[in-house]
Homo-oligomer: A and B are copies of this chain.
Amino acid sequence: MEKKIAVILGDGIGPEVTNQSLKVLNAIAERFEHHFEYTYGLMGADAIDKTGSPLPDETLAICLESDAILFGAIGDPKYDNDPTAKVRPEQGLLKLRKSLGLFANIRPVATFPSLHHLSPLKSDRLEDVDFVVYRELTGGIYFGEKKVDAAYTEASDLCSYNKSEIERISHHAFKATQQRKKHLTLVDKANVLETSRLWRKVVQEVAKQYPDVQVDYLFVDNAAMQLIVNPKQFDVMLTENMFGDILSDEASVITGSLGMLPSASVGATTALFEPIHGSYPQAAGKDIANPVGSILSTAMLLDHLGLFTEASLVRDAVAWTLESKFVTKDIDPINYYFTSTIGDLVSEYV
């Protein structure tokens, strides 16, 4: 099989973790006689430094022509504390999501029993935790009109949604739920927000087409509590962009292994895969970052390309490194292996 993969290394630890995924993809290509054609693009702080733009047109063109995109991480603290900066790394990622129509951000959250001791939660809360967050990614307050007056005394952000934006991701989420434990939870703030009431109404309608799925509704403040108190109650959590940003990050740390979690951002024509961790600049260049989040994102990428056997093999390889205690410093601060070693080991297993 021939496939075009756009590769965006990005900022901080992005390059070093993504390079491990490329080793794994090469091993898969060799073993299964596929041909993956990689084209590299710039985005984020890296792109600003080199081109002045957080998302050069060339990167967008490369992504539009690819079957899938493998991405590292974005962000550089030097931009964060200047509220008036006109150009910021994150604009690149937001523009890419919008331009490619990557409307569904999918984040599986499962705990690795051998890593329960790393979780901030007590072990009894962690057993059987296995859910997926479906976050709407191209609408809401992220993309509504933004205003600020010249004197910087007043600012606003508009949160808006229309029915078809909600329907689109809802169908995705309901279909995924049917393949899982058949329990979907919509998270909103319908007691306050008009957009949330629209979400609730549309999801109630869509639900009629999936009579085998049980649907629950939770207010976002309650959801933030339930994720900690009793995370195993969730199967598929569906929510809008801003709430999804907050809740999926909260969900990711309950596992105690943030560095191991993957994500997919899916659109009608292409999809982007990235670890959920950030650019973690303090660790950049030290060969200590955990590449498993990126490698498991690569497994999701292979699934997306229809290469299910290959995806399973990558997951088996990761499970084997974990069982064999081949882990990075974040998992075992004493007996640890380097980022690049984990990449080599997973590739060799494959």
Q: Which A residues are within 8 Å of any B CB, using their own CB?
A: 75, 79-81, 83-84, 88, 90, 94, 119-122, 125, 141-142, 144, 146-148, 152-163, 189-198, 200-201, 204, 217, 219-222, 224-225, 227-229, 242-243, 245-250, 252-254, 258
Contact = CB atoms under 8 A, between A and B. Distances in A.
A246 B221 contact: yes
Contacts of A200: 81, 83
Contact of A155 (B141, B195, B245): B195
Task: Give the one of A79, A146, A154, A157 with max B CB within 10 A.
Answer: A157
A161 B154 CA distance: 6
Contact of A249 (B155, B196, B222): B222
Assembly stoichiometry (copies): 2
A224 B250 contact: yes
B121 A156 contact: no
Contact of A195 (B156, B220, B248): B156
22 contacts: A75-B191, A80-B190, A81-B204, A83-B190, A88-B191, A90-B191, A120-B121, A120-B122, A121-B228, A141-B192, A146-B194, A147-B194, A155-B195, A157-B159, A157-B194, A159-B159, A221-B245, A224-B246, A225-B249, A225-B253, A228-B228, A229-B253
B220 A246 contact: yes
